[in-house]
Structure 1
Amino acid sequence: MLTTVVFRQDTKSGCVYLDDHIEIGKDLTFTALVEQGVKFDGEIDMGNGWMLFSSWNHCILGRQVNVSFGFFKGCLKKFGFALISGDGRDLEGLKIKHDALLNELFGIPQKKNEILIAYDFVWGTVSSQLDPRGGSCSVEFYWK
C-alpha cells in the first residue's frame, strides 16, 4: 500500500503531493511554493514568459526525487520529477522505473511509443518521457 497520495482520490484535481505535505497544482505561484517550504536550487528564465526552477532531494510516494517547476507568466503549468538512482547515466533504466510507477498508479497508458507514455485527464496530462538528445528522463505533469 502506498503511503503518499500523488493525486486526490478521484484524480479530478491533478494535485501532486511533494514530501507528504506540499501541495502542487495548477496555477500555483512561486510565492505559494516558497511559503510551503520549497527551496530552489536553480532557475532558468526562458525569455518568453516561462521560468523554470529546480529543487533537489524530495520525496514522492516514498521515493527520492529531484523536481522541476515550469511557470508561465507567474503561474505553475508544468511539474516534473526524476527518481534519484545510483547510476544517473542509465536513462533507459530510469525510464523503465518511471513507466512502472505510472503503470502502478494509472494502469495502461493512452499514448505509448519508444520515448513516451502518457495518461490524459480532464485537468491535463501525466507522462513519462525520455529525451536521449538532452540526456534526461522524467515524469511530467502538464495542466490545461
Structure 2
Amino acid sequence: MAHEIDIHDGSVRLNGGPLLSRDARVQQLRAMGLSINQVFEMQTGWRFLTSGPYTLLGKSANLALAFFNDELKRVHFAMSDSGATTPDQIRHLHDTLLLTEFGAPQVQDSRKTMYVFPWGTIVSAFDPRGGQSEIVLTWQ
C-alpha cells in the first residue's frame, strides 16, 4: 500500500491534488492544481494558505500550509468527516490514524503524540489557545 505521507522525506501526496514537499513554492503548487481557499499574510515572512478538503490518511482533511519566505515549511491538517465533535475526540482520531500509519510514536504524553524523522516531525496535539486539535507536519 502506498503511503500518502512519505516517511523518507515527509512529502505528502494529496488525493486529487499536488505533492506537498519541503520548500515547495506557492506558484509550483498552484501549477500542480492546488486550490487555495484563503490566504493569511502574517507580515513576518510567514504566509498561511488554506486548502481542501482532500482525502488524507483515509479521511477528509482541511489543510493550512505554512510558508516562510515563499517556501513550504509546515502542513497543518484536521480531519473534517470523522464524526468526532470535541477536540479530545478529534485528537484521539488523529492519534489513531497516525498509529495505524506509522506505528508507535517516539513521544506520547497528555499534550501530544510525536513522530520524529530525520527530515522533521509529525505531531498530533490539542492547541489550547485555538481550542482545536490538529496534526502538524514540520520539515526541519
The answer to whether TM tops 0.5 is yes
* Other structure's SS at 2:74 match: strand
Distance 1:45 1:88 in 2: 30
State whether structure 2 residue 111 is matched by structure 1 residue 115: yes
Residue by residue over 1:70-99, the C-alpha shift from the partner in whole angstroms, topping out at 9 and shown as x without a partner, is 000010000121101366741100000000
1:92 to 65, 88, 93: 88
Runs of 4+ in 1 over 3 A off after TM superposition: 85-89
Distance 2:27 2:84 in 1: 31
Deviation, 1:23, is: 0.8
Distance 2:9 2:128 in 1: 31
Alpha-carbon RMSD across the aligned residues, in angstroms, is: 1.7
Structure 1 residues 103, 17: CA separation in 2 closer, same or farther (over 3 Å shift)? same
Structure 1 residues 102, 122: CA separation in 2 closer, same or farther (over 3 Å shift)? same
How high is the TM-score relative to the length of structure 1? Answer: 0.89
How high is the TM-score relative to the length of structure 2? Answer: 0.91
Identity level (%): 28
Residue 7 of structure 1 corresponds to: 5
Unmatched tracts of structure 2, length 5 or more: none
State whether structure 2 residue 125 is matched by structure 1 residue 124: no
State whether structure 2 residue 64 is matched by structure 1 residue 64: no
